[in-house]
Structures are given as structure tokens and as C-alpha cells.
Amino acid sequence: MSLLGKAGHASAARESGYAAHRAGVDRLLASYRAIPEHANVRLAKKTSNLFRARAKNPAPGLDVSGLTRVIAVDPVAKTADVAGMTTYEDLVAATLPYGLAPLVVPQLKTITLGGAVTGLGIESTSFRSGLPHESVLEMDVLTGSGEILTVAPTGEHADLFRGFPNSYGTLGYTVRLKIELEEVPPYVALRHVRFHDLRAMEAALTAIVEEKSYEGEPVDYLDGVVFTAEESYLTLGRRTDEPGPVSDYTGMDVFYRSIQHDSAQPKRDRLTIHDYLWRWDTDWFWCSRAFGTQNPRIRRWWPKRYRRSSFYWKLVALDRKYDIADRLEARKGLPPRERVVQDVEVPVERTADFVEWFLREIPIEPIWLCPLRLRETTLSGTTGRVWPLYPLEPNRTYVNAGFWSSVPKVAGQPEGAANQAIEQAVTGFGGHKSLYSESFYDRPEFSALYGGDAYTELKKRYDPDQRLLDLYSKAVQRK
């Protein structure tokens, strides 16, 4: 389809999309008015990508059932209007037919756009495109006081625009977001580069972020995996429209295992852009191994439709409800386990130091690595934005380290001992920790790390009656 034809198709879909969105907003507001004045406002949402306990609330929640679709795609302006509860799976499905994709697509299909903005997100484009909230041009936000405000980088509510990322629904919920898109060709050519030394890997990663190339080839996507101190990899992706054979990691082959090799030369591979964006979802990175899914004898009979992160979430929920894993450990005479599911950012020059500490102190592997830098320029022309609730420094490279497993609890140690050790280490290395999982900070330390007075002022302005939980209560305190 020509660009003109695509624009016409998009225009026809736009009117229908906005009509459906307005109906969804009406249901949202009606549900807000139905919540008793003394009750906290929350989402009426059965699923979540959070790995921490959610506060119990007997009051009805906000009806977001009408806020789950892409409203409109503008292929000429390369933008999309998206309802806040739209999943990235649906967003990508709407943009790829136009040869477009969001600038940053988090790894799991059921992450919502609103969730990635209020709770942060990251992926292999983050070394050049920052974090998902940096491609937002404007948002409609339902505040704790029941108003829907349009917020943008400039104007009356610019403070809420800047303070919204990492607020986790404590300043309001996104109703609509307008985001930038980028052109993407049909394929991604991959190189998996092996390193036998963490400091050599750190040096190469630093150079690639700066140069956006490696050994003469452009690098459009960049992440890595650490198996041991002697075996780590950087995966370099290059966008291409060259036809040719592609791999499929939705079947018997497992993507993270395909990375490993012994050669001094990079191992090459190719994926469609669709399969590249969702390469981690089929096996929830490597966490599907906990369910036996990577065992060929089991995988062969495990239906493809259930090889995705959303189904593994259901299994995790069953484990939480019935303590299945700890019961099995007890039958073996083993202690219960502490869940260690975290993403942290450390300055790039401390990457090897942190990974060495982690491999020495926390018996979990592999570790995912993903570099990021705040964007220097956006479509709106602004530069050097500051995001007070997650204060990364402009013009500085960080590396996200993700690790998702559990460790045996040690008798006599406090609850969450391993997680607390990680928090202390990350702070010591000058980094930050995402708040989607358990946190153990005391209130003064938490305030110093996540917004302080800036958050307090935003809370006073946009949720004066405290209808929404505050960030410390939501992220740290147990309910």
C-alpha cells in the first residue's frame, strides 16, 4: 500500500477509534464517581506485570475496559494515539502494517503503554531512544481528584508530565497517550559477540553506545546476556530490508540458548522485526525453564498459545496462592526460597563491578544487560529533560541489569535479605532500582532516591485528598 493509501486507511480508522475511546472514557469517569469518597482509587484490573504484593481494597475499581485499544495511527506524522491500557502486543500489531514501531518496545507482550510510562520500561533501542516515556508527546491523565488533564512537555501541567514516569499510578492514570513512532524495515540481522572477560565486554558496550556501530556495521539494537564471568555476550541488531531465511524461536528452539557459541567470530542470525520485538516473550526470557517448558520432551507437547509470558504469569499466581514451590522444596528437605526479581540501572563504567559482585553474592544466572541513555532530542524539540522520580543523568550511559529467579532463604537472616543486599549494592555503585518488585528501603532513603520534595508537591497539587496511595506505600509497604 502506498503512503497515501495508508494515510487514507488510517484516517478512516481514526473516527471510529476516537468514538470508541470517548465511550471508554465515559465508563471510566462513571466508575470513578461510584467509588466511595473514603476509599482509595485503584484500577479494576485482574492482571499485572508487577512482582510485588498489591494492596487489598474492597471498594470497586476504575473501569478501564474501554481503554485497551489503539485509537489512531498517523503514518505521515509517524505518531499514534493510544489508550492507556493498550498492550504493546496490540500496539505493535497496529503499527507494523505501516512499517512503523514504537521507539522502545518493552520485552513482554502484555505490558501496557500506560504501565511502561508510569512504571518505566526498557529494551534494546534504549541506548539510542531512551525510555518509553521519552517518546510521549502528550497524555490525558485521570488525577486522584477525578479530573482528566491533558499534560505535555510545556504548559500548565508540565510538572505532571515530567513527574509522571515512575509514579506507578500514585499521581493518576493515563487515559490517552500520543507517542512518536519510527520506521522499521521487515528484518533484523543479529550478531552475538562473545566475551571471556566482563571488563572487555563493558568496554565494547561503552564504545558501541557512543559510535552506534561495531566493526564497521551499524548497530540499531543492543542488549546482552551474562552466563558466567567467563561467558557473556552482546547481541547487536541491524535493521534491514534484505530478504532471506529467518529463524523461529516460538517453536522448539529457545532464543537465549541460540546466543551461546565458542567461536571467536560473532554468531549471526536473522529474525523478522515482529519476532525480534517479541524474542523474549515466548520463554519469558529464560524463566520458562522453571515450568519445564525448555525440556524438549515437555516443550513438544506444550501448546504454542501457552508459550508466552501472560500464561506463565498465571502459573506464578497459582504458586503464590498455594505456595507450591516452597511445599516442593520442603518435601526435599530444603528451605523455602526468596524471590529475587529485579531490574536495576548502574553507570556503564560500574557494570563489570556490579556483575562481579552479583555473581559472587547472589546465585542466579543468566543476567540480562541493556544499555540506556536519556534522549537528547525529541520530536517536540526539547532537550535535556529531567524526570524527577527516576533521576538519571543526561548525557550519561547506564546499563540495566535484569535478574529473575529465587535463592534459598538463610535461617536467621531478615525477610528479603538478598533483595536488601542488592539495593545496598546498587546504591553503592551509583545506580537506581525499578519499583515493580519488592523494595525494602526506609522512607527517608526512598524519598532521597525517588523524587523527594518534587513528588510531595506533585501529590499535593494533583491528589490533594489522597485518593491514590502514595509511592512509598505502594512500592514498599506491605498491605
Q: What is the pLDDT along the chain (479 residues), one digit of tens a residue?
A: 555 555 555 566 677 788 999 999 999 999 999 999 889 999 876 666 565 555 566 667 899 999 999 999 999 999 999 999 999 999 999 999 999 999 999 999 999 999 999 999 999 999 999 999 999 999 999 999 999 999 999 999 999 999 999 999 999 999 999 999 999 999 999 999 999 999 999 999 999 999 999 999 999 999 999 999 999 999 999 999 999 999 999 999 999 999 999 999 999 999 999 999 999 999 999 999 999 999 999 999 999 999 999 999 899 888 888 888 888 788 888 889 999 999 999 999 999 999 999 999 999 999 999 999 999 765 555 555 689 999 999 999 999 999 999 999 999 999 999 999 999 999 999 999 999 999 999 999 999 999 999 999 999 999 999 999 999 999 997 55
What average pLDDT is seen over the chain?
92
pLDDT digits (tens, 9 = 90+) for 87-106: 999 999 999 999 999 999 99
Q: Count CB atoms within 10 A of the CB of residue 253.
A: 12
99 contacts: CB under 8 Å, gap ≥ 6:
75, 183, 184, 185
In this prediction, residue 56 carries a pLDDT of: 61
In this prediction, residue 1 carries a pLDDT of: 55
pLDDT digits (tens, 9 = 90+) for 312-323: 989 988 888 888
Can you spell out the DSSP letters for 296-319?
HHHHTTS-GGG-SHHHHHHHHHHH
**Pairwise CA distance, residues 92 & 102, whole Å:** 7
* Residue 362, C-alpha cell as written in the block: 547472589
Spatial contact of 409 and 475, defined as CB atoms under 8 Å apart: no
Q: Does the reported pTM lie above 0.85?
A: yes
Burial of 124 (0-12, 13-18, 19+ CB in 10 A): buried
How far, CA to CA in Å, does 212 sit from each of 184, 221, 234, 287, 458? Answer: 17, 9, 13, 30, 37
**Pairwise CA distance, residues 402 & 458, whole Å:** 30
Secondary structure of residue 248 in the 3-state scheme:
coil
53 contacts: CB under 8 Å, gap ≥ 6:
478, 479
Spatial contact of 260 and 227, defined as CB atoms under 8 Å apart: yes
Helix 309-322 × helix 324-331 angle, to 10° = 60
* Residue 286, C-alpha cell as written in the block: 529464560
Structural domains of the chain, ranges and CATH numbers in brackets: 3-184+460-475 (3.30.465.10), 187-433 (3.40.462)
Helix 351-361 × helix 198-211 angle, to 10° = 140
Secondary structure of residue 65 in the 3-state scheme:
coil
In this prediction, residue 409 carries a pLDDT of: 94
Task: Identify the helix (H) or strand (E) that includes residue 462.
Answer: helix 452-462
**Pairwise CA distance, residues 479 & 461, whole Å:** 26
How far, CA to CA in Å, does 442 sit from each of 54, 179, 201, 418, 424? Answer: 19, 35, 35, 16, 12
Secondary structure of residue 25 in the 3-state scheme:
helix
In this prediction, residue 320 carries a pLDDT of: 80
Can you spell out the DSSP letters for 275-300?
HHHTTTTTTTTTGGGGGTTTSHHHHT
